């Protein structure tokens, strides 16, 4: 299922720069007044490290752990055996 991406944020602002309002006015003064009126938003704790994103606030209801893809491919037992028998295994973070 593809997550909808509306023109304006609805219920939740998901990233810096996500559009939250649009102003149509007759004068520049009306635009400035509307922009300054702003709106009230509950600020969520930022998630700035992808290693902790699964424990952070969900960006989309359809992905409560913030993963967009999860899948496995191949023979896990064979891969585990290959790593177990390897002379050296390097891990990177």
Taking alpha carbons only, the member of 25, 22, 26, 24 closest to residue 9 is 22
Q: Torsion over CA of 60, 43, 19 and 58, rounded to 10 degrees? A: -10
pTM of the model: 0.54
Q: Note the pLDDT tens digit of each residue in 68-79.
A: 888 889 999 999
Q: Note the pLDDT tens digit of each residue in 18-61.
A: 898 888 999 999 999 998 887 777 777 787 888 888 888 888 88
Taking alpha carbons only, the member of 75, 58, 74, 78 closest to residue 66 is 58
């Amino acid at each position: 299922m593809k997550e909808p991406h509306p023109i304006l944020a609805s219920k939740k602002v998901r990233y810096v720069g996500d559009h939250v309002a649009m102003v149509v006015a007759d004068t520049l003064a009306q635009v400035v007044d509307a922009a300054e009126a702003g709106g009230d938003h509950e600020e969520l704790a930022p998630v700035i490290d992808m290693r902790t994103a699964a424990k952070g606030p969900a960006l989309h209801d359809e992905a409560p752990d913030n993963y967009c893809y999860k899948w496995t491919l191949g023979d896990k037992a064979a891969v585990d055996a290959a790593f177990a028998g390897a002379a050296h295994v390097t891990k990177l973070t």
